[in-house]
Amino acid sequence: MSTISENLRVVEEGITSACVTAGRPRNSVQLIAVSKTMSNELIAEAITAGLIHFGENKVQEITAKQPAFHGQIRWHLIGHLQSNKAKKALPCCHLLHTLDSVELGRQVDRISGELGIKTRALLQVNISNDDAKYGLSPEDTAATLTELSNKHSQYLEIIGLMTIPVFEEDLEKTRRHFAHLRELRDHLAVSTGLPLPELSMGMSHDYQIAIEEGATLVRVGTSI
């Protein structure tokens, strides 16, 4: 068995057992393989092992890797999007995880309209209020969502929230950050009437507790 398919089997078991613990169906969680350091050969191996959803931090990496795979991959942009890259990024992006300002959202809406596409996105929230460079503060998220909701954006659809919490030695602290993102989502869904079904949270070391706290999209790199 190749290393990737063996690693994938372990991650798959981890996802399944977290789903059982949480009493959630396995198909409520989508694994996104983070391929930011993977060569095309390794990505091809991962596709053979059954993966379709891949995450990249950089637009250039998606546009460079994409032609080799002829539409076999659904690309997730999980790194910061600079507005001058939006035109290149949006056509190849299955889901944008890192919308973090009204200004960027307006640009994404406008450019999607020009391209004749719809763009689905998540609002990135700096849930642990650390000094991370990117992400909305939890307090600003409601206003941003209202400003960018369907009434104002024809081509942009916000379908949930994403977070990268500050690293904690203690996984129970990380769990609290994940729970806060879920609570924020629940609160926003009620106050705005938008369904916001997706929660992108959890990486190699904490995807199981993320699933226990409601993650629907886990972004796993190192473990695969």
Q: Which residues bind ligand PLP (CB under 6 A)?
A: 34, 36, 57, 78, 164, 203-204, 219-223
Q: What's the min distance (Å) between Cβ of 122 and ligand PLP? A: 11
Q: What's the min distance (Å) between Cβ of 13 and ligand PLP? A: 16
CB nearer ligand PLP, residue 146 or residue 204: 204
CB nearer ligand PLP, residue 56 or residue 212: 56
Q: What's the min distance (Å) between Cβ of 1 and ligand PLP? A: 21
CB nearer ligand PLP, residue 36 or residue 173: 36
Q: What's the min distance (Å) between Cβ of 113 and ligand PLP? A: 27
Strand ranges in the chain using DSSP code E only, listed in sequence order: 30-34, 53-56, 74-77, 95-99, 119-124, 156-162, 198-200, 217-220
CB nearer ligand PLP, residue 34 or residue 209: 34
- DSSP letters, 16-56, are HHHHHHHT--GGG-EEEEE-TT--HHHHHHHHHTT--EEEE
193 phi-psi bin (left φ>0, alpha ψ -120 to 50, beta other): left
Q: How far are the Cα atoms of 7, 51, 79, 159 from residue 58, in angstroms, in the given order?
A: 24, 20, 6, 21
Q: Do residues 216 and 200 touch, judged by C-beta distance below 8 A? A: yes
Q: What's the min distance (Å) between Cβ of 28 and ligand PLP? A: 19
CB nearer ligand PLP, residue 180 or residue 219: 219
Q: Report the DSSP beta bridge partners of residue 119.
A: 156
CA triple 88-104-206, angle to 5 deg = 85
Q: What's the min distance (Å) between Cβ of 212 and ligand PLP? A: 17
CB nearer ligand PLP, residue 57 or residue 192: 57
Q: Report the DSSP beta bridge partners of residue 56.
A: 77
- Residue closest to ligand PLP (Cβ): 221
